[in-house]
């Protein structure tokens, strides 16, 4: 009988450990399989995950020394609750069971089975038996990185096969024009605009969504690139020095666009100079006949010398105005959209209008116009295409309703983008509201940027809902320093509570305009 009891204990432990491991594997995936981001989550949030399964140990002790039916019932109820909790909790970005994750899960289950097998040889000592199982539960958070480390040689071999296939496909299309797009912000919107404008004359492929990592680009090439494509617009993301160079070594861009450079991902880059150097890896990788399109409004770009031929674009009146080949001027921005003119190097000038909001989109559109015009599309042909542009998903997307209109700018906010979004919000005539959890990955600058966000919001907003008290403490401090009324501020535990506060705020019959600025992923 005792043997069956202990087998039951092992089963309860194993199921609980596997369930807990799914949470840690999910966070490992969201951290891009990188130890830095995962370790930050372990320090800040792992306690919430551990609370779901640490009940197992006292239950095991109760079962081992009592041996009656009560511990069985307690364990069964806890297991049911555990799995119900897992099934009911909706992740913003659920665990995606890729082939890599599937291999990782198999390896992790084998590691857990090995731990259980080792514990089973300690049945002669109940104390050692339980200590071994307890240690296994406490260390389960390290199993995802460990399993991934064990699988790394196989993973690299598989990625090597995919990489060689992608390079072979690209080499078989010597006439394909590859256009790399990078920047601390604005690159995804610019990519979407480029695809729309260039498609007027060329069969154009772009990397979808945020497929801006080496394997994301490789997957796009292998699954979507066809012999009929003439232009490939490739978004290039980076979190470490050398990331852009690695992408360029895969696709070999002929043209490059650097949209802006600012303090993004400083937790991994550490310094702004590293950010600048990494973005300019695109310029350094261009061929002798290549062209770099650079946003001359960005001081970090303007002060950098490059070997490649450079076409400068930006907003007239900004620093470096006289050096711009494509300058946007006469800008008018309001809640209905944007209108502006762009002057080209050949002396032509064209008026553009768009329903897009946010002055920063003038820079993004001008970048796309400059590239398209350089590639032979006249400005007058681009005007109707610009008029039909729609925003990239979650980048100042208007979601109108009868009493409340959302301005969805929830994708990966940054200080410059948030300031531009608040400027766009100021153009709406109604009750102006902000919902935000603040920024992440800004390192030592994060607190100062949060306080600045609070001061900027105080100058624009009638109501602010902050998501997460600890994360947004400095934002609240900035609001308070700017004299924002406390009764117009809500600090909510989660997004659902923040949106409920927005809906409950009295508007006296006026339209509510709610700016959703950033939406932190599940690991924050």
Q: Is 466 helix (H, G, I), strand (E, B) or coil?
A: strand
User: Does the residue 157 lie in any domain?
Assistant: no
Q: 363 and 309 in one domain?
A: yes
What CATH number corresponds to the domain at position 198? 3.40.1190.10
CA distance 501 to 488: 10
Q: In the predicted model, is pLDDT for residue 46 greater than 70?
A: no
* Structural domain containing residue 428: 397-517
Q: Is 111:145 a contact under the CB 8 Å cutoff?
A: no
Q: Indicate if 221 and 349 belong to the same structural domain.
A: yes
C-alpha torsion sign, points 59, 61, 66, 68: positive
Instruction: Confirm whether 161 is domain-assigned.
Output: no
Residue 288 belongs to some domain of the structure: yes
Residue 146 lies in a domain: yes
233 with 347, same domain: the answer is yes
Provide the pLDDT confidence category of residue 1 given band limits of 50, 70 and 90: very low
- Phi, psi at residue 55, to the nearest 5°? -60, -20
Q: Which residues have a Cβ under 8 Å from the Cβ of 320 and sit 6 or more positions away?
A: 296, 297, 302, 312, 314
Closest CA to 59 of 77, 50, 71, 70: 71
pTM of the model: 0.80
Q: How far apart are CA 377 and CA 440, in angstroms?
A: 40
Residue 505 lies in a domain: yes
Phi, psi of 10 (to 5 degrees): -60, -40
Q: Cα separations (Å) of 58 from 4, 63, 130? A: 19, 9, 10
pLDDT at 523 over 50: no
pLDDT at 415: 83
Are 103 and 204 in a shared domain? no
Do 315 and 219 share a domain, yes or no? Answer: yes
Same domain, 329 and 192: yes
pLDDT for residue 431 = 93
pLDDT digits (tens, 9 = 90+) for 199-230: 999 999 999 987 888 999 999 999 999 999 99
Question: Could you give the C-alpha distances from 306 to 291, 311, 443, in angstroms and in order?
Answer: 11, 11, 28
- Which of 387, 409, 424 is a domain's end point? 387
Q: What is the CATH number of the domain that holds 513?
A: 3.90.190.20
The CA angle 312-313-319, to the nearest 5 degrees, is: 90
Give the CB-side neighbour count of residue 444, counting CA atoms within 13 A: 4
Report pLDDT digits (tens) over 388-446.
998 877 888 888 888 889 998 887 677 888 888 898 898 888 999 999 988 877 777 88
Domain count across the chain: 3
Same domain, 454 and 509: yes
CA atoms within 13 A on the CB side of 341: 9
- 257 and 182 inside one domain: yes
């Amino acid at each position: 009988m005792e043997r069956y009891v202990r087998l039951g204990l092992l089963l309860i432990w194993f199921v609980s450990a596997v369930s807990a491991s799914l949470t840690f594997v999910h966070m490992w995936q969201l951290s891009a399989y990188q130890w830095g981001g995962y370790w930050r989550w372990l320090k800040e949030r792992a306690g919430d995950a551990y609370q779901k399964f640490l009940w197992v140990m006292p239950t095991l002790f109760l079962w081992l020394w009592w041996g009656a039916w009560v511990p069985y019932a307690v364990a069964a109820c806890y297991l049911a609750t555990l799995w119900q909790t897992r099934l009911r909790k909706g992740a913003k970005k659920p665990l995606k069971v890729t082939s890599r994750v599937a291999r990782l899960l198999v390896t992790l289950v084998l590691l857990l089975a090995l731990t259980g097998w080792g514990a089973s040889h300690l049945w002669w000592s109940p104390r050692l038996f339980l200590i071994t199982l307890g240690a296994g539960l406490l260390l389960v958070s390290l199993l995802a990185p460990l399993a991934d480390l064990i699988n790394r040689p196989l993973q690299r071999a598989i990625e090597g096969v995919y990489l060689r296939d992608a390079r072979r496909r690209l080499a078989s299309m010597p006439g394909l024009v590859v256009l790399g797009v990078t920047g601390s912000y604005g690159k995804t919107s610019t990519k979407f605009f480029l695809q729309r404008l260039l498609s007027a004359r060329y069969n154009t492929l772009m990397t979808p969504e945020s497929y801006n990592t080496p394997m994301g680009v490789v997957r796009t090439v292998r699954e979507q690139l066809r012999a009929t494509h003439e232009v490939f617009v490739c978004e290039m993301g980076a979190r470490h020095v050398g990331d852009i160079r690695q992408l360029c070594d895969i696709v070999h861009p002929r043209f490059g666009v650097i949209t802006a450079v600012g303090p993004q991902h400083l937790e991994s880059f550490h310094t702004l100079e590293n950010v600048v150097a990494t973005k300019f890896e695109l310029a350094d990788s261009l061929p002798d006949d290549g062209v770099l399109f650079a946003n001359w409004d960005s001081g970090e770009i303007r002060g950098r010398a490059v070997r490649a031929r450079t076409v400068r674009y930006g907003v007239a009146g900004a620093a470096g105005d006289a050096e711009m080949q494509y300058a946007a001027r006469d800008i008018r921005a309001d809640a209905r959209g944007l209108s502006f003119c762009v002057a080209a190097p050949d002396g032509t000038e064209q008026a553009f209008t768009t329903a897009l909001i946010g002055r920063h989109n003038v820079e993004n559109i001008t970048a796309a116009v400059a590239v398209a015009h350089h590639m032979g599309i006249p400005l007058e042909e681009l005007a109707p295409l610009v008029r039909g542009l729609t925003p990239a998903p979650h980048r100042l997307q208007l979601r109108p309703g009868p009493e409340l209109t959302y301005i969805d700018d929830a994708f990966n906010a940054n200080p410059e983008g948030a300031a531009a979004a608040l400027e766009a919000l100021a153009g709406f005539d109604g009750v102006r509201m902000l919902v935000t959890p603040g920024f992440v990955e800004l390192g030592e600058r994060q607190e100062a940027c949060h306080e600045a966000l609070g001061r900027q919001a105080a100058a624009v907003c009638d109501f602010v809902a902050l998501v997460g008290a600890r994360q947004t403490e400095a934002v609240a401090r900035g609001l308070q320093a700017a004299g924002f009324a406390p009764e117009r501020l809500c600090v909510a535990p989660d997004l659902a509570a923040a949106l409920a506060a927005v809906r409950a705020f009295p508007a006296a019959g006026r339209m509510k305009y709610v700016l959703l600025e950033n939406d932190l992923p599940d690991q924050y």
